Amino acid sequence: MVIMTKNLEAGELLQMHDRNPGMPLELDWVMNTQVNRSAVERRASTIFKRRAVKKKAQIAWLLRAVSCIDLTTLAGDDTHGRVKRLCAKARSPVRKDILKEFGMEGLTVGAVCVYHSYIDTAVKALDGTNIPVAAVSTGFPDGLSPLEQRISEIKASVAAGAKEIDIVIRRGYVLSGNWEALYAEVSAYREACGDAHLKTILGTGNLSTLRNVKKASLVCMMAGADFIKTSTGKESVNATLPVSLVMVRAIREYYDRTGIKIGFKPAGGIKTAKDALAWLVLIKEELGNEWLNADMFRFGASSLLGDIERQLEHNLTGRYSADFRHPTA
């Protein structure tokens, strides 16, 4: 069985999209934005019900999901050995015998995401691949350390070899409506990143309202964010479809206004292949096929890959295998 999808040939090397140059803060745009919560929740509840993804189409979508994963370890007990094993999994995310059946040898994940202390280990372990290393920064997960320290963290991670920097915004600026301060800080982060891509984590579970999520999304994009991301994975509520719908519509609105494409990354709580399919459907229907690649869309996940691999094997054998047959790290 050979499964090929457009723009996902085996061994294809994806390149990050053009940088977002940012724009001046337009407070009128931010303050006048509205979100109809009931309409958002109603639309989100129908996303996966409206489109059936089965058989060969499901295999192709799941392979696409694998290519869009930021394979992540952000635990207090991380070790260099664990990071090396994670990188080995990133290089070969699905068992070779399974990929061979689908004609997808050479498939890799979108990136590996680690703490600053493990950047060098990850860079060395991924040498010879096109897999970038992403590092969390700016006082992750709360973003409350002194600004100078947060800026220094970004610069140190870029110098160590990180190609993507996942920063966290100060939620207090959103909750108090201090959009000028949020814009200034994210702009400073963008400058400190240099050539590395900036992914801004909103921490949506702490932002109280969907309107705040929309406003924060717009301000971060205006300040130069290349990606907007839902969560750190440490909040009590992480990525949800309603929040994601609001954020991708903000991306669409920003694109319509500026012509600049911004990437999207849901993170936290996305654990099953079915979850992954729901988010891929969301992206296809709201942003279109141009966003359905690792250049423009990522999953922040640590356990998602294992379930996708089990589903792929099930499509071949008709049986579900034990989790230990598909270790992540």
Q: What is the CATH number of the domain that holds 171?
A: 3.20.20.70
What pLDDT band is residue 5 in, cutting at 50, 70 and 90?
A: very low
Q: What is the pLDDT of residues 55-84, one digit of tens each?
A: 788 999 999 999 999 999 999 999 999 999
In a domain? residue 10: no
Which residues are known to be catalytic? 166, 229, 265
pLDDT reported for residue 16: 55
| Total number of domains in the chain | 1
Do residues 267 and 297 make contact, with C-beta atoms less than 8 angstroms apart? no
What's the whole-number average pLDDT of the chain? 92
Q: Which amino acid is at 20?
A: N
Average pLDDT over residues 237-246: 96
Do residues 43 and 286 make contact, with C-beta atoms less than 8 angstroms apart? no
In a domain? residue 101: yes
What pLDDT band is residue 8 in, cutting at 50, 70 and 90?
A: very low
Nearest to 206 by CA among 180, 168, 263, 166: 168
The residue among 11 and 306 whose pLDDT is bigger is: 306
What pLDDT band is residue 248 in, cutting at 50, 70 and 90?
A: very high
For 13, 61, 205, the CA distances from 45, given in Å and listed in that order, are 35, 20, 18
Q: What percent of the chain stands above pLDDT 90?
A: 85
Rounded CA-CA distance 213/205 in Å is 9
pLDDT reported for residue 7: 42
Average pLDDT over residues 17-46: 95
pLDDT reported for residue 59: 93
In a domain? residue 6: no
pLDDT reported for residue 17: 63
Nearest to 117 by CA among 80, 167, 77: 80
The alpha carbons of the chain give a radius of gyration, in whole angstroms, of 19
Number of separate helices (H) and strands (E) present in the chain: 13, 8
In a domain? residue 15: no
Q: What is the pLDDT of residues 174-185, one digit of tens each?
A: 999 999 999 999
Structural domain span for residue 316: 27-325
Q: What is the pLDDT of residues 165-213, one digit of tens each?
A: 999 999 999 999 999 999 999 999 999 999 999 999 999 999 999 999 9
Nearest to 274 by CA among 243, 311, 301: 311
What pLDDT band is residue 310 in, cutting at 50, 70 and 90?
A: very high
In a domain? residue 228: yes
In a domain? residue 2: no
What pLDDT band is residue 49 in, cutting at 50, 70 and 90?
A: confident
Q: What is the pLDDT of residues 99-151, one digit of tens each?
A: 999 999 999 999 999 999 999 999 999 999 999 999 999 999 999 999 999 99
In a domain? residue 16: no
In a domain? residue 319: yes
